[in-house]
Amino acid sequence: MTEWEMVVGLEVHCELATATKLFCACPNAFGDEPNTNVCPVCLGLPGSLPVLNRHAVELAMRVGLALHCSVEPSIFHRKNYFYPDMPKDYQISQYDEPLNVGGRLDLPDGTRVGVTRAHLEEDTGKTTHVGGGGGRIHGADHSLVDYNRAGVPLVEIVSEPDIRSAEQAKAYVNELRAILVAIGASDARMEEGSLRIDANVSMRRAGAEVYGTRAEIKNLNSVRSLGRALEYEVRRQVGRLEAGEAVVQETRHWNEDEGRTSSMRSKEEAYDYRYFPEPDLVALAPSAEWLAGVRAVLPVLPSERRVDLARVAGVAETDAAVAAVVQQGLDGLVTAAVGAGADGRLALNRAANELAHATPPDAGAFAKVLRMEADGRLTATQAKGVLAELVSAGGDPEAIAAAKGFEALEGDVVAGAVDAAIAAHPGEWERYAGGEAKLAGFFVGKVMAATAGKADGKAVTALLRERLAGR
Amino acid sequence: MALISRDDVAHVARLARLDLTEAELDQFAGQLAAVLEHAADVAALDTAGVPPTAHPFELVNVLRDDVAGPCLDRDEVLAMAPAAEDGRFRVPRILGEAP
């Protein structure tokens, strides 16, 4: 029997970082007193008319361009449904003619996920359920609604079903967040609901052409939840399929505390929303000039920064340290350090592992520590110690090393300590010479003790081999 | 031939939360069929080369600047609602998750 293959497509809803809502001048702000950012337009009062926010359109265009989409003429539709989170009883969205179509997202591991579309729509209000257990709808007595979020601009980014693992799904969301923040489209804070994910998941036999029946998973409020929910859903669907049962096409709710998904309702057919063109808004048709203006303010994207950094450091673009350094925004520092004579590989590794979550040090000082390490004047452990001091207190690396007593030992001091260790432990030396390689560690330990940890472990090992060869 | 069945009318009525009687279903099926028939006259025209249009105006890109304006007073807003609680609109028990 062939293995099961997971097929995942993600819908990511991202709140745009505008000052005001999509169709009215109410502030777009998180955490304000309920129902203080509302007006006749976002409350759906009779006679009010929507007017599109130019900046929201430009941010959505940035998203499209950054995802290599084609930015197209588009129109808005009404999506009709009855639910108290939208006082109009419809949501203004884009349906069959969205703003951005046909893009892609390249992940740090070298894989590529297609982007079907990225369209503009308005967010809904926030409902709170009262009287049930834990704020759930089930068992609730009544609900309370805050319309501050109703009408906040969203971009919904829909991926192709190109994702094949929970790890890849998490990498996709992390990369997308990095792009959204880099281009200034959103703060992409999942804990504030600025970024929300729905996952379409199905299973099929590896090598099969046809997709299986999918379930849509909602309420994924963190990248971690996404990974856990996908892993759970794979077990659930494979369990059903192997028992000869069908997977039902439905929407499922992820419960973070219970670590499982549960059925919400059968997915309504698209026509049940009775989409029709929004008569109160005219078409959006970005001119070539407008598009060029938006393109001109786009910063260098994370994927391009990885390519540049890998070239500077002389390593593969898919190197894990390259992704980590770009993610931490340390690519400028590493590039400058390499320019100042530091080794690329060493600069990447030390930046990725020793400088994460720290205020980056001066590039010249960083390069100096790396050169001291490469020259053998500092051991790896000593270099990390100097970097830690450099980050926390600053200063000159030479002075820090001297203050810590890290002055390099003369080669003959180390050699003397090696010879003394051999002389003091003839039994161990014979066994080492007889092929017990792990005893190298014993002698390194003795030399370290004799030199108060100042000897370079690698140099000691090399000396031991030399002595062995010279027997 | 009827362009819209009685079942179609019942389905659309349910989506719009309209509670129609049996007699009304028959009545509206007939009326809506007449409307659709009238609209179907367009199909008789040669529209090859006529681009689809979503709006009667040729105007595009009607936009406003991203500048905040005044909002309504919350007390005034909530006074319009049948019920309010804790600065929020109070609504009856919801039976399912959001669409």
Please give the DSSP secondary-structure letter assigned to residue A190: G
- Chain B partners of A128 at a C-beta cutoff of 8 Å? 88
DSSP codes of every residue in A351-406: HHHHSTTSPPPPHHHHHHHHHHHHTTSS-HHHHHHHHHHHHHH---HHHHHHHTT-
Checking if the pLDDT of A185 tops 60, the result is yes
Sign of the torsion formed by the C-alpha atoms of B50, B53, B59 and B64:
negative
Winning range, highest mean pLDDT, from A162-176, A373-387, A420-434: A162-176
- Chain A partners of B63 at a C-beta cutoff of 8 Å? 51-54, 57
Strand duo A250-255 + A215-220: pairing: parallel
Checking if the pLDDT of B2 tops 90, the result is no
Question: A468 Cβ partners below 8 Å, 6+ apart?
Answer: A432, A433
- In chain B, what are the domains? 6-44 (1.10.20)
- Please report the pLDDT score of residue A25 as a whole number: 98
Buried b (16+ CB within 10 A) or exposed e, A78-112: bbbbebbbbbbebbbbbbebbbbbebebbbbeebe
B62, B63, B72 ranked by CB distance to A39: nearest: B72
- Please report the pLDDT score of residue B1 as a whole number: 46
Q: Which of A11-15, A54-58, A281-285, A423-427 has the lowest mean pLDDT?
A: A423-427
Cβ of A144 within 8 Å of Cβ of B91? The answer is yes
Cβ of A27 within 8 Å of Cβ of B87? The answer is no
Mean pLDDT, range A286-290, rounded to an integer: 96
- Please report the pLDDT score of residue A381 as a whole number: 85
- Chain A partners of B64 at a C-beta cutoff of 8 Å? 25, 51-54
- Please report the pLDDT score of residue A265 as a whole number: 63
Distance CA A345, CA A350 (A): 9
- Please report the pLDDT score of residue A5 as a whole number: 96
Residue A63 near residue A85, CB atoms below 8 Å: no
% chain A with pLDDT above 90:
71
- Please report the pLDDT score of residue A8 as a whole number: 98
A35, A141, A218 ranked by CB distance to B93: nearest: A141
Mutation target for B interface from A35, A137, A219, A278: give the one with most B CBs within 10 A: A35
Distance CA A293, CA A288 (A): 9
- Chain B partners of A130 at a C-beta cutoff of 8 Å? 85
- In chain A, what are the domains? 4-296 (no CATH), 302-403 (no CATH), 411-469 (1.10.10)
**Closest CA in chain B for residue A130:** B93
Checking if the pLDDT of A234 tops 90, the result is yes
- Please report the pLDDT score of residue A378 as a whole number: 86
Checking if the pLDDT of A225 tops 80, the result is yes
Q: What angle (nearest 5°) sits at the alpha carbon of residue A229, between those of residues A161 and A167?
A: 60
Checking if the pLDDT of A254 tops 90, the result is yes
- Please report the pLDDT score of residue A264 as a whole number: 79
Checking if the pLDDT of A268 tops 80, the result is no
The model's confidence at residue A63, banded by pLDDT at 50, 70 and 90, is very high
The model's confidence at residue A435, banded by pLDDT at 50, 70 and 90, is confident
Q: pLDDT digits over B7-63, tens only? A: 999 988 888 889 999 999 999 999 999 999 998 888 888 888 888 887 888 899 999
- Cα A134 to the chain's mean position, in Å? 30
Q: What are phi and psi of A352, to 5 degrees?
A: -65, -40
Please give the DSSP secondary-structure letter assigned to residue A81: -
- Please report the pLDDT score of residue A267 as a whole number: 46
Q: pLDDT digits over A109-136, tens only? A: 999 999 999 999 999 999 998 886 666 6
Checking if the pLDDT of A428 tops 50, the result is yes
Structure token pair of residue A317? 């673009």
In sequence order, the β-bridge partners of residue A104 are: A114
Checking if the pLDDT of A455 tops 80, the result is no
Question: B43 Cβ partners below 8 Å, 6+ apart?
Answer: none
Side chain identity, residue A111: T
Please give the DSSP secondary-structure letter assigned to residue A407: P
What are A232-235's contacts with CB under 8 Å, separation 24+?
A: A232/A259, A232/A260, A232/A261, A233/A199, A233/A201, A233/A261, A234/A4, A234/A6, A234/A166, A234/A201, A234/A203
Question: Mean pLDDT score of chain A, rounded to an integer?
Answer: 91
Question: A290 Cβ partners below 8 Å, 6+ apart?
Answer: none
**Which of A86, A274, A13 minimizes the C-alpha distance to B94?**
A86
Mean pLDDT, range A334-358, rounded to an integer: 92
- Please report the pLDDT score of residue A294 as a whole number: 97
- Please report the pLDDT score of residue A38 as a whole number: 98
- How near does any CA of chain B get to the CA of A54, in Å? 5
Question: A37 Cβ partners below 8 Å, 6+ apart?
Answer: A21, A26, A27, A28, A29, A148, B71
- Please report the pLDDT score of residue A436 as a whole number: 87
- Please report the pLDDT score of residue A301 as a whole number: 93
Which has more confidence, A239 or A407? A239
Cβ of B55 within 8 Å of Cβ of A272? The answer is no
Which has more confidence, A39 or A461? A39
- Please report the pLDDT score of residue B3 as a whole number: 78
- Please report the pLDDT score of residue A270 as a whole number: 46
Q: pLDDT digits over A81-91, tens only? A: 888 999 999 99
- Please report the pLDDT score of residue A134 as a whole number: 61
- Chain A partners of B65 at a C-beta cutoff of 8 Å? 54-55
Checking if the pLDDT of A29 tops 90, the result is yes
Cβ of B55 within 8 Å of Cβ of A284? The answer is no
Side chain identity, residue A464: L
Mean pLDDT, range A191-217, rounded to an integer: 94
Cβ of B60 within 8 Å of Cβ of A75? The answer is no
Strand duo A90-93 + A77-80: pairing: antiparallel
- Please report the pLDDT score of residue B97 as a whole number: 60
Please give the DSSP secondary-structure letter assigned to residue A20: B
Structure token pair of residue A161? 């079903």
Side chain identity, residue A138: H
Checking if the pLDDT of A269 tops 70, the result is no
